[in-house]
Amino acid sequence: MANEPLWVVEARVSTDFNQFMLFDVESELRYDELQLPAGAWLGVSGPGGALFHTHEGNFKADVRLEFWPRPSPDLAAQTQNAFFGEFTAPTGGVMLGSVTGSPSDRFVQLPGPGTYQVRAERVADRLVQDSVDQIDSAEGWLLQVAPAG
């Protein structure tokens, strides 16, 4: 893989039902049609995008989304805390955010419609102060996306 991503988006997104998504919400596809694996799961991907599962009790995800110019064997490295998959983005744009919609959602324009590889890694849990009176836990995530070969 190249030494550095072409671009990076960093966002703190809200999670609902311990989930957040990277999904083409402008397409006719729906995130709830992705087939969730049985038991514990970290991620699932397919037509329209990807869905990610946080630990119980984490209401925020601090996400670093990196876009790489091409796929690499490094991208497919899967560990206990990492998920690898492919998704399609029919409109070329995806929403990084909550499955139910939130002011923290971020629209991300990909280079265009197509198929992309994604590697998602859960990197850290930490306490974050959202306001003077409220401290929540946030889970750190690294999402690496590249056009599928």
Using one digit for the tens of pLDDT, what is the confidence trace for 81-131?
Answer: 789 999 999 999 999 999 988 888 999 999 999 999 999 998 876 555 555
Which domains are delineated in the chain? 7-147 (2.60.34.30)
Q: What is the mean pLDDT of residues 67-71?
A: 88
Backbone angles phi and psi of 76, in degrees to 5: -85, 0
Distances, alpha carbon 120 to alpha carbons 32, 83, 140, in Å = 19, 5, 11
Using one digit for the tens of pLDDT, what is the confidence trace for 13-49?
Answer: 988 888 999 999 999 999 989 988 887 788 999 999 9
Angular region, 18: left φ>0, alpha ψ -120 to 50, beta rest: left
